[in-house]
Structure 1
Amino acid sequence: MRLQRIQRALATAATLVALATLTACEDKEPGARPGTTPAAAPSQPAAAGGAAAGSGTDGITSLADAQRYVQQQTVSCEDLSTNPKDSRLPLTDLTTVGKWSVTQRGVCSDRVERGELIFYMTSDMKEFQTRYKQHVMDKIAAGNGTYGQTSRVFVGKNFAVTPTSTKTALLLSRSDLRILTCNPMSRVPEGYKREAALVEHCMLSDFVNSSDGSGSPNFEHPQNPDASEKPGQPAQGSLGLPKASSLNELKQLVHPHTVDCTNMSTAADAVAVSSIDYAPAVDGAPSAWGIKDRAICGDLGGERRAHNLNWLSTVSDMKTLQQKAKAAQQEDLKDGRLKATVSKLMVGENIVVETNDKSVRHGLYQLQFLYLNCEPGFKAPSGYRLEKSQVDGCVLTNYER
């Protein structure tokens, strides 16, 4: 009976006009969270060769080429071997040379994440994807209904690679490779690429699913503070945020005890300065972020590289600013964490300060500025401020992990 129910479900899924949104897995990966449902079909069909067959993977015709490609994604891949008896190959490998149109198979060591990457060169990517889909369907029909929900099968134009480490998968997800998924009960959250594969009812995506939550963050489940249950203070409303009517008034508020604005400039070329250690949270035209006036404080460079940089801004549209900052944080979080050199956005009522200096932020918290945090699942311990921002999925807080 169980097998019949599964077969009926698969038959129903196969009749959908749209392609199901999917995310697959390796043999050694446990099943994903139960209760997931297929997402909407992609809006654009894949190009010939699959969505991953862009310029980034064109010209890769050998295992050595594939190795160099993943190394360009800052992935460790050492001691490449084609020995079919190599002990680093998994006992339950997907396929071997001569099957699924695979012409070469190799394995290398991921020394940084203490894992391996298994490569498959293929003469026919559509055939490879067709056989992988059948492999997933066979597993499901045999009773393993969650098989394929945490895929690590990354495909390009002429090759596939399966990393054993989730952190490595996160790095590869930012490349032109795409994760092949063929389990009809999987889905890709909003905010990630969803593209058609070369076979029906499979999907190519940059979403790394993981049963332990260490994969790509799911931005569809924001952690907004609940006025009745949130652990931070105040229980309701806000304790208030600082405000200023001009850049000069903002400077007087923060200088000199919190932000050193001995050297301050509003010139556009100066405001655009950043360094290897200091980068603004606002990227691009300030007006597009809802910023009215903007200045930079610090040493802008010369004989020494720029340092002690902090940005001050008055804001005409705080909601737009927070929406843009949320999108920027989410792009960084797809790599697993926020970039350490990018300044944190410290929010007032109509003003913001951008800084990546922890001591500066500590002083700003004393002035009632709060940090805009858009990390999924973020919570502040009791006693710290945790307030609603102007965009869903973000909070204002004076707590830093």
Structure 2
Amino acid sequence: MRIKRILATAAVLTALATLTACEDGEREGGRGGAAGAATAPPRGPGALPGPTEVSTLAEAQKYVQQYAPCENMSASPEDKRLPRTPLTAVGAWSVTERGVCADRDGREGITLYLTSDMKAFQEAYKQRVMDRNRADEPTYGLFSRVFVGGNLVVVPSRTETAVALAESGLRILTCNAGFGVPKGYKKEKALVEHCVLSDFVNSDDGKGSVNHQTPEEEGKERGESARPLPSRAPGASLGLPSAGSLTGLRKLVEHSVDCSRFTTDPETVSIRSIDYLPAVEGDHKAWGVRERGICGEPGGARRAHGLVWLDTVHDMLAFQNREKAAQLAELKENGRIRATRSKVLIGTDIAVETNDQASRHGLYQQQFLHLNCRPGFTAPEGYRLEKAVVKGCVLTNYED
């Protein structure tokens, strides 16, 4: 089963997902570092309070040293501790300088980048994550170690170093749609859509930030998160988006869904296409839907293109009961949910039906969750898994 394969490879993908530099550039045998790394000095009044512009790698090193060891700095392209990928070399991703220093005992490296355009860097990283997610690597980027602030990017190898840097003014850039910032941690807008900045270190090695929304092992202290259980019980909701009308919903999802062409015409809304099957079929009022509209090209002389249905829901229990029955019926008939069938992404009083993965990526970042009613379904640690209104279903941002 694919979910088991994903869980089995999660530890490997953790290292791969920090940054494409780490993902593509890890040498056989691990990173080699110079010996003699010192313990990080205690932070005092001189510690930089937040993201800042730095002029040189030496200044960047000084900033990092206030939170973690960063010794034996080198900017030589021949340094074996540097990632071998050309994707984040000087000149790519708006990188102007790149260096590496030794962490702790010198066996692990911290890569530092200076960039002339932080937005361009974030856009390049986001595109890399999306490309790998679409290439059947759904956990790529979920356990990000990409710290950004001002014109500085810092990518530590060790989870413990990431936890230490999370106390700085730098923020972790995460662009995997499955990531949600747990309660109690900072959540800020990135410079690009569908990415988020936070101080939460997401990790599957048991050493990241404590997620108080998931069960914790007895006696764990901050900086050591619990390992996932084989099967997770859905928890209470961390919050879902809401809109008071179709107009508000259309505005809410405009960066995730192409809704430049939109109509509420009943005949058009009820259209069926070989490439786009709606989730809601029949009388939408019986589903508890108040208003219903459709985005995209409904077809005619040409095939339909980009169809997405928007719903405002006044009876979420009725809606989820209907969707549960529809999913179970299709699973019984076909053994699976057809790829052309739209997945339902739920808000508090709204729903979006789409079979487009890129649109769902953006919607997950907006905290919409997919209603999954498949018997036995669960989600790996790091993904949201919450109780649905109807028994036998869950809300999640994980797709298997």
Q: Bigger relative contact order, structure 1 or 2, given CA contacts below 8 A and separation 6+? A: 1
TM-score by length of 2: 0.42
Structure showing greater radius of gyration is 1
